[in-house]
Structure 1
Amino acid sequence: MDAHSSAPVPPPGCPAHGGRVPLYGPDFAANPQSYYDYLRHYGATAPVELAPGVNATLVTEYSAALQLLQDSATFRKDGRRWREFNEGAVPLDSPVVPLLMHRPNAMFADGAEHLRLRQAITDTMARIDTRRLARVTQQVSDFLIAQFGYRGSVDLVGSYARQLPLFVFNELFGCPADIGDRVLFGISNMFDGINAEQAAEVLYGAVGELVTLKRSRPGDDVASWMMEHSSRLTDEEMVHQLALLLSGTDPEGNFIGSTLHRLLTHDAYAHQGGLIYEAIDDTLWENPPMANLAPHYPAVDTEFAGEQLKAGDLMLVSFAAANRSPILAGERKVGSRAHLAWSAGPHACPSKDPARQIAMTAIENLFNKLPDIELAVPESSLSWRPGPFNRGLVALPTRFTPVEAARPVPAANATNRQEPGKAGEKTGRWSQFLNWLTK
């Protein structure tokens, strides 16, 4: 055998000799696993570029990722420690900066401040009644299916997977439709790196309006419950805590869409019963909705996994790469939930149980209503969203036997990517849902 036959081969668009590996562009979006496979030749960590001029160290190995996520003494979350950003080496207009820069919420806090902000989230989310969540998800699912069920074809990402979490969160958070639509616009474009600075302004402006609304008119909803919490959050903290939670609409849409993709493209799954649970777990293992995130910064110069790091170096965890670490080969069992899709340690996702419940209810109801739904295009023609952080389909075209709508529903409005300043039709969409419920 040739001595060089086992050398790692960089994927298209990936630098073959030295330098940092770019986690952006169409080649990365099309086949990120080939990039992760290549990155492994660096060891447990690898030098990457998140966007032009934005460097990071990416943790790709499972045990190293766990060590990082669980060691809050050595690795801190406060984004104000980001050394290269503070030194002016990071372009201020970079599309990834709005998602990485410090915010006064639990994600970017350490120590006692993190405990205070985190407790406000966990106590608030614990008040969500699972029966209410199931009922709302079922109602939203029925409404969305009624809008396209008579047509016999639909893009399940644009018309179902990405819309459903927004509707559910609108109800749980007491979020009016016009505010909710701007939230989705802001979150989607921040994750995709599309006009990210403007998207961030839209998101935080919309949530600020929600906080003002709930201060004057509290209700039986997540936003109002968080205001009542003993942590006594300021308005600024409320905005950033709620924005953090509402940002779950984007990965939740990716999660639902990728699980539907798996069910429609893998013959091993049936469209009913316990196999949906298996498809959900397999998606979280092999195609997690957040592929690379969890920014951390060494508190001091340190060595980690054989790599010398400076204080304030940006480190990210590749959940997608870690879940496929070679050390896990043969260890993973059916039904195992030891994956890192929800992160781990003190900053693990506090909403993983509601997220699973929403996805399960949405997928079960879809296949119950449209049992013969199938992919309408070759799988090879599907494309994935850009950017280094998320993992989600752009579209999932399907076809099925048309079904008569249970209730008359006006035609669906424009795409979620519509400019938020032109959201008049979008406000009507929420009104359509409320009117539909009362008929």
Structure 2
Amino acid sequence: MPGTGPMGRCPVARSAPADAAAARVPLHAAAFAADPHGAYGAMRERFGDLAPVELAEGVPATLVLGYETALRILHDAEHFPTDPRPWQDTVPADSPVLPMMRWYPAARYSTGYDHTRYRQASKAAIDGIDGHAMHTVVEELALRLINSFCQAGSAELVADYARPLVSAVLNEIMGCPPEIGAQVTAGMAARFDTVRAAEGMALLQTALTELIELKQAHPGNDATTRLLTHPHQLNETEVLAQLMSFYGAGGEAQFNLITNTVLLMLTDERFGGGLVSGSLSSRDALDEVLFQDPPMANFCTTYPRSPVLTGVTWLPAHQPVLISLAAANTDPTIVRGDRTGNRSHLAWSVGRHACPARTIAYLIVQDAIDQLLDALPDMELAATPADLVWRPGPFHRALTSLPVTFRPSPPVNIS
């Protein structure tokens, strides 16, 4: 593999990045959340394509910063499987990253027949979503939320718009009552933040178990029912694992993508001016965020079966190797000028574990952004970018809040 280090380094590293305890960069620290791209640049300068990091106190890993190296690892399931079980038994049971990384019977943790079985069931559940009907659902839910704050002249878009909108859309897709959905959202947030993660995981599992029992008793035209009734006959534990994947990728990732994209449009003249004049679309802004600040910044974790030489570095067996989707997408060796219309980013991953819900996710997020822009075209950021706070955690890129102001306007009629 071509992952290379800075010039002048010994051609083969004496130890893997995960073993270089003194050099590890703590991805769980507030400083990393505040300026991840500064950290990626410093790591790239010091270590090359592969950097030693710490995901939580005492939990080492390797972070892949290079685009080409990331592609090769993502396409090499033989040497880089995604099953964490040999690793997770070496981690303290109370580690805050364990709820996010431990094995569950879902496609992204599996290979071979199990992977095929889980992915086919999940894809069938997703493919059953009616995209045309979903457009109407998103529009109606978005307008109801916008109407709740449009006369005030200000809003906080994480709590007032993006999070409740995506949660409501997901509840519609999954056939989930709002009260159960609220517990799922809270539990998933704790899992991603790695703050009170064990409590969040318990809340999440309890809520999803309640949803499964509800749909067993009252099946409907929804993704949960399609999982429960798929010909592969997933058991309840397997269905719960697929639901966790759905809510993780469909919830946290989507509302963070909405707010990150809106932030870009409010602060970058290329998109602010371009969107108003019509020269650039919200889809262009969305893809720029998927390049620069994807909501899942460091993910797609693999665990080498045996020590493997990658570029000039030996990666140890059964230790986590995370793809920095954000760093790989902004790798200086592949970034060339204007990327408008370029969708070669890795935000959806690639290979056998690529996101199967990419099309519907694009639809939901773009519709959510377009409804907001149409209703409040003069929206402005109500804080300086430097004052915005990013949530902690090594995996995601997520704002705690996004305050905006705009000219007060009357509610929009909902037909």
Is the TM-score greater than 0.5? Answer: yes
Match of residue 215 from structure 1: 216
Structure 1, residues 6-53: CA drift from partner, whole Å, max 9, x if none?
A: 99xxxxxxxx99421111222111101111111112121111001111
In 2, Cα distance between equivalents of 1:118 and 1:215 = 21
Structure 1, residues 295-335: CA drift from partner, whole Å, max 9, x if none?
A: 11111222122221222111111001101111113276321
Number of equivalences: 392
In 2, Cα distance between equivalents of 1:328 and 1:293 = 20
Structure 1, residues 144-183: CA drift from partner, whole Å, max 9, x if none?
A: 1011111110011121112211000011110001110001
Q: Which of 53, 56, 61 is the matching residue for 2:61?
A: 56
Q: Which of 236, 259, 262 is the matching residue for 1:260?
A: 262
Matching of residue 289 in structure 1 with residue 292 in structure 2: no
Q: Give 1:107's aligned amino acid.
A: R
Q: Secondary structure at the match of 2:93?
A: coil
Structure 1: segments with no counterpart, 5+ residues:
1-5, 8-15, 408-436
Match of residue 114 from structure 2: 113
The question of whether the paired residues in 2 share the 8 Å contact of 1:271 and 1:367 is answered with no
Q: Secondary structure at the match of 2:23?
A: coil
Deviates more, 1:159-168 or 1:330-339: 330-339
Match of residue 85 from structure 2: 80
Q: How does 1:28-427 map to 2 (within 5 A)?
A: 28-40=32-44, 41-82=46-87, 85-87=88-90, 90-247=91-248, 248-269=250-271, 270-272=274-276, 273=278, 274-330=280-336, 333-406=339-412
The question of whether the paired residues in 1 share the 8 Å contact of 2:288 and 2:339 is answered with no
In 2, Cα distance between equivalents of 1:321 and 1:202 = 32
Matching of residue 24 in structure 1 with residue 25 in structure 2: no
Q: Secondary structure at the match of 1:327?
A: coil
Q: Secondary structure at the match of 1:55?
A: strand
Q: Give 1:287's aligned amino acid.
A: D
In 1, Cα distance between equivalents of 2:269 and 2:308 = 48
Deviation at 1:261, TM superposition (A): 0.1
Give aligned-pair identity as a percent: 39
Deviation at 1:406, TM superposition (A): 4.1
In 1, Cα distance between equivalents of 2:384 and 2:126 = 40
Deviation at 1:194, TM superposition (A): 1.5
Q: Secondary structure at the match of 1:162?
A: helix
Structure 1, residues 365-400: CA drift from partner, whole Å, max 9, x if none?
A: 111111111111222211111111000111111111
The question of whether the paired residues in 2 share the 8 Å contact of 1:23 and 1:388 is answered with yes
Q: Secondary structure at the match of 1:343?
A: coil
In 2, Cα distance between equivalents of 1:347 and 1:215 = 28
Match of residue 421 from structure 1: none
Structure 2: segments with no counterpart, 5+ residues:
1-6, 9-19
Coordinate RMSD, CA, aligned: 1.9
Using the size of structure 1 for normalisation, the TM-score is 0.86
Structure 1, residues 38-91: CA drift from partner, whole Å, max 9, x if none?
A: 111212111100111111011110011011111111111111021xx423xx33
Match of residue 424 from structure 1: none
Q: Give 2:323's aligned amino acid.
A: V
In 2, Cα distance between equivalents of 1:151 and 1:80 = 51
Does the C-alpha gap of structure 1 residues 333 and 378 become closer, same or farther in structure 2, counting only changes over 3 Å?
A: closer
The question of whether the paired residues in 2 share the 8 Å contact of 1:204 and 1:240 is answered with no
The question of whether the paired residues in 1 share the 8 Å contact of 2:157 and 2:401 is answered with yes
The question of whether the paired residues in 2 share the 8 Å contact of 1:53 and 1:91 is answered with no
The question of whether the paired residues in 2 share the 8 Å contact of 1:54 and 1:91 is answered with no
Deviation at 1:227, TM superposition (A): 1.6
In 1, Cα distance between equivalents of 2:135 and 2:38 = 38
Q: Secondary structure at the match of 2:270?
A: coil
